[in-house]
Amino acid sequence: MGKKGKRDKKGKGAEKTLAKLEKKVSRRAKKEEEDLEALIAEFQSLDAKKTQVIESSCPPPSPRLNCSLCAHPERDELILFGGEYFNGQKTFLYNDLYIYHIRKNSWAKLDIPNPPPRRCAHQAAVVPTAGGQLWIFGGEFASPNGEQFYHYKDLWVLHLATKTWEQIKAPGGPSGRSGHRMVACKRQLIIFGGFHESARDFIYYNDVYAFNLDSFTWSKLAPAGMGPAPRSGCQMTPTPEGNIIIYGGYSKQRIKKDVDKGTLHTDMFLLKAEGAGKEEDRWSWSRLSPSGVKPTPRSGFSVAAAPNNRCLLFGGVHDEEEEESIEGDFFNDIYFYDIGKNRWFPAQLKGPRSERRKRRRGRQAEAEAAGEEELQLSPPQGPLEIVKEVVAEDGTVMTIKQVIPAAAEDKDRSGSEEEEDEEEGGALGQPVEPCPRSSAMVAVKHGVLYVYGGMFEVGDRQVTLSDLHSIDLHRMEEWKVLLEMDPKTQEWLEESESDEEEEDDDVEGAEGGEEEEESSEEESEDEEGEQQHPAVQPGEAQPQYAARTEQYWLRLACSHMGPEAKDKKVLKVAHAMAKTFYEDAI
């Protein structure tokens, strides 16, 4: 049997195995999804009470992950939908819709009747049809304790001109999933990959579906050739020719009972439309071998289309997985992929023009003094230590140090002046950049990249961000901070802190109402205060009050120190600040 025959036989065997696994997962997941369907229906009945469109100015969205952020196709706006928030105890799901007005640097909340159910890890794409449309497919709903999952397979469109939601019911679409990728390409929505997870099992996909935006029909593609292995969270980019590029992603396998092993994919594929423009497109997979400097292996990265026929990759995390724990290194770098040249290269900030001129003059002086050997980039810069002083509400000052590594020199410089500038390293006067993170939401409008939120971990604690940064991708001079993260929005509950309240709060937690959450916290703090203060005598400690203060300082320290901080160091600062606070109070 020839190579082609062996490959075809191997492919068919893999398809059969995947089909069996999908049936097994579907059967086990059916019961828990039925339980969650009732909860989802209850929330939808609450949403049905909305009868009119209301747009109102509001504070920035609360911290959240796995929402979608898209650029309005016609206006200077970004559109944020859905997401989740985990506070160490409960998972909160959202289906609210926010508009970020770029020119005003302000947020507005848009309440529209009959929205999609609460979800996270969905996919969204915008098209310019009829004043702009936002299409949403799939995603998941989780129980408050995060142990049960419902995976959506529904398709929705938000008509931006009329501000109306519409559910599109068309047969033959993908199965329920999250972590998939979706792009708009030549009047089609193309969906690839993703995963489906139940309490005990999981399955990853590598199938491809197309939704026709003219006929409103689904079709499952059957590309020729060997395609990517099943995965989620990959990079998916359309090309001007109507092809699709897939890079990276994540999947896991069960190696023994209750032990899973994750895989970070670093391969790259082209899904080519062979019969573009014909009635029935024929597709084929081929493997790409790009040149240049590829991103280091990671998951949880964010992707967006960039100017000059490029796409970009931002941030992510590389997890070192052990059987009992996971330690992650988080990133805040940018890599560009030049579609025409099939080439990766890391982005480097040039700094303001005045600083660039100084650096160039300095280089010329060095070259003249030291000869041709020194006619290179400026010497590598050492790590930069930034010291921040944070003043708490009680006036206590906390000093936090953050070490920013030096920018790496690019070893793959081209002859063109444009790329030389883009890849030029060097010291900046005062680096301002998003802290390292994964799962950030990104969008590009008028050649400017916007990065919202994301998360990082300090020890066992997860810090969910809500800051907003931007950078001009044409100039690549410097990051701008549009919204700093408010440490007060950070909450982390240990397992023992709310076990007694868990049953009462389950529905509230899944609903994801910020106002209810804040009011319940304020009430609980008031009750604790009334119980504690009468019993306190001069010289006595207040254990519950002190623990609460310590937790506050821990959140504050984590949010500013970033993922470079070690857990013990953060705890040491937190303990010291908490002790000072309650000693002053008594």
Contact 573, 555 (CB under 8 A): no
Q: Which residues contact 118 (CB under 8 A, 6 or more apart)?
A: 40, 43, 82, 93, 94, 95, 141, 510, 511, 512
For 136-150, write each residue's pLDDT tens digit: 999 999 888 878 889
Confidence of residue 32 (pLDDT cuts 50, 70, 90): low
Angle 414-417-423 from CA coordinates, rounded to 5°: 60
Question: Is residue 420's pLDDT more than 50?
Answer: no
**Which residues share a beta bridge with 165?**
158
In angstroms, the CA 81 to CA 514 distance is 15
Report the range of poorest mean pLDDT among 94-103, 173-182, 426-435, 543-552.
543-552
More confident residue, 213 or 574: 213
Inter-CA distances, 22 with 120, 205, 455, Å: 22, 9, 31
* Confidence (pLDDT) at 392: 40
Q: Which residues contact 277 (CB under 8 A, 6 or more apart)?
A: none
More confident residue, 416 or 192: 192
* Confidence (pLDDT) at 258: 74
Which two structure tokens, joined as six digits, stand for 309? 């026929």
* Confidence (pLDDT) at 444: 98
Which of the given ranges, 260-274, 371-385, 475-489, 561-575, has the highest pLDDT on average? 260-274
> Domains of the chain: which residue ranges?
27-350+434-488, 542-585
In angstroms, the CA 350 to CA 576 distance is 40
Question: Is residue 197's pLDDT more than 50?
Answer: yes
Question: Is residue 508's pLDDT more than 50?
Answer: no
Section 433-454 average pLDDT? 96
Which of the given ranges, 35-39, 238-242, 499-503, 540-544, has the highest pLDDT on average? 238-242
Report the range of poorest mean pLDDT among 103-117, 274-288, 441-455.
274-288
* Confidence (pLDDT) at 13: 55
Section 491-508 average pLDDT? 55
Confidence of residue 195 (pLDDT cuts 50, 70, 90): very high
User: What are the helix and strand counts (H, E) for the chain?
Assistant: 7, 30
Percent of the chain with pLDDT over 70: 63
Question: Is residue 100's pLDDT more than 60?
Answer: yes
Section 414-443 average pLDDT? 65
Question: Is residue 523's pLDDT more than 60?
Answer: no
Residue 20's Cβ-side half-sphere holds a number of Cα atoms within 13 Å equal to 5
Question: Is residue 498's pLDDT more than 70?
Answer: no
* Helix (H), strand (E) at residue 209: strand 202-212
Confidence of residue 575 (pLDDT cuts 50, 70, 90): low
27-350+434-488 fold: Neuraminidase (2.120.10)
Report the range of poorest mean pLDDT among 92-101, 278-287, 386-395.
386-395
For 389-414, write each residue's pLDDT tens digit: 544 444 444 444 444 444 444 444 44
In a 10 Å sphere around its CB, with 0-12 CB exposed, 13-18 middle and 19+ buried, how is residue 239 labelled?
Answer: middle
